[in-house]
Amino acid sequence: MSGQMGTVHGVGLGPGAPDLLSVRADRLVRGARHVAYFRKAGRPGQARRIAEGMLREDAVEIPMEYPVTTEIPVSDPRYNARLSAFYADCTGRLVALARSGEDIVVLCEGDPFFYGSFMHLHARLSGMVPVNVVPGITGMAGAWNATGQPITWGDDVLTVAMATLPEAELARRIRDTDALVVMKIGRNLPKLRRAVVAAGREDVAWLVEHAAMPGQRVTPLADAESVTPYFSILLIHGQGRRP
């Protein structure tokens, strides 16, 4: 393959169940010689878990381990600097492989372009080597399907927010929307609960944990005492126009 560059494929794996991959994603993952994925040190990583049993026997795995940043506030410039250096290092590894003529599949939870780490690679890889993105079902779609209720009707406006937002901003957005998805809950649950109460919507809010995964749980917010730090989403369903 001398002189021919390989392609970096950012492949969306969907919300958690292996059979919720697209046909294209399934084909790429099963055929990949080089497979990269993000994970925390000492853990296999959610993307790699979804792909368990799918990889070729001779697949070369490229774990990309996040630097520890828990001791640094997000607002501290050192936080972005450390992550930026990490993504630059990951980019360098993938570029070197692609320039040697090898294709690489990067496993991505949900959809690669929806709050995913792959976006940070894509921004750096673009213009250096060929990049291809395969869409995936988002985690939030898995969550609202787990409730058995449509998330939006008619002209409903759907807002997607992060629980890391300031409490007053959360309350404003919860109050001003028809349907709501809140991600990145974890230790922010008490703040999020206060914001939902302040917006007068506690009775219609739901927490979904591990949507489309083993251990899936759907709980009214009013009954929830805690949540799994990861893979937890809050939902408020729209009640808009319908025939």
128-153, pLDDT tens digit by residue? 999 999 999 999 999 999 999 999 99
Name the domain boundary from 137, 167, 186: 137
Q: Kindly provide the residue ranges of all beta strands, DSSP E only, lying in the chain, ordered along the sequence.
A: 8-12, 34-39, 60-65, 104-108, 131-134, 158-162, 179-183, 205-209, 217-220, 232-236
Q: 110: which DSSP letter?
A: B
Asked whether residue 202 is assigned to any structural domain, the reply reads yes
Same domain, 144 and 65: no
The tokens describing 36, both together, are: 């990269």
Confidence (pLDDT) at 71: 77
Same domain, 56 and 155: no
Nearest CA-CA partner of 55 in 36, 74, 76, 82: 36
CATH of the domain at 199: 3.30.950.10
Same domain, 145 and 133: no
Name the domain boundary from 118, 137, 156: 137
- pLDDT-derived band at 229 (thresholds 50, 70, 90) equals low
Query: What amino acid is encoded at 192 in this protein?
Result: L
Asked whether residue 176 is assigned to any structural domain, the reply reads yes
Same domain, 118 and 147: no
CATH of the domain at 127: 3.40.1010.10
Query: Are the beta carbons of 116 and 6 closer than 8 angstroms?
Result: no
Name the domain boundary from 137, 171, 201: 137
67-93, pLDDT tens digit by residue? 987 778 878 899 999 999 999 999 999
Same domain, 57 and 159: no
- pLDDT-derived band at 227 (thresholds 50, 70, 90) equals confident
Same domain, 78 and 114: yes
- pTM of the full predicted structure? 0.93
Mean of the per-residue pLDDT values of the chain: 94
Asked whether residue 196 is assigned to any structural domain, the reply reads yes
Domain count, the chain: 2
Same domain, 43 and 145: no
Range of the domain at 193: 140-236
Q: 202: which DSSP letter?
A: G
Q: Is 132 helix (H, G, I), strand (E, B) or coil?
A: strand
Spatial separation of the C-alpha atoms in residues 42 and 214, rounded to whole Å: 21
Nearest CA-CA partner of 106 in 137, 132, 124, 87: 132
Strands 158-162 and 179-183, by their bridges, are parallel
Nearest CA-CA partner of 222 in 237, 236, 235, 204: 204
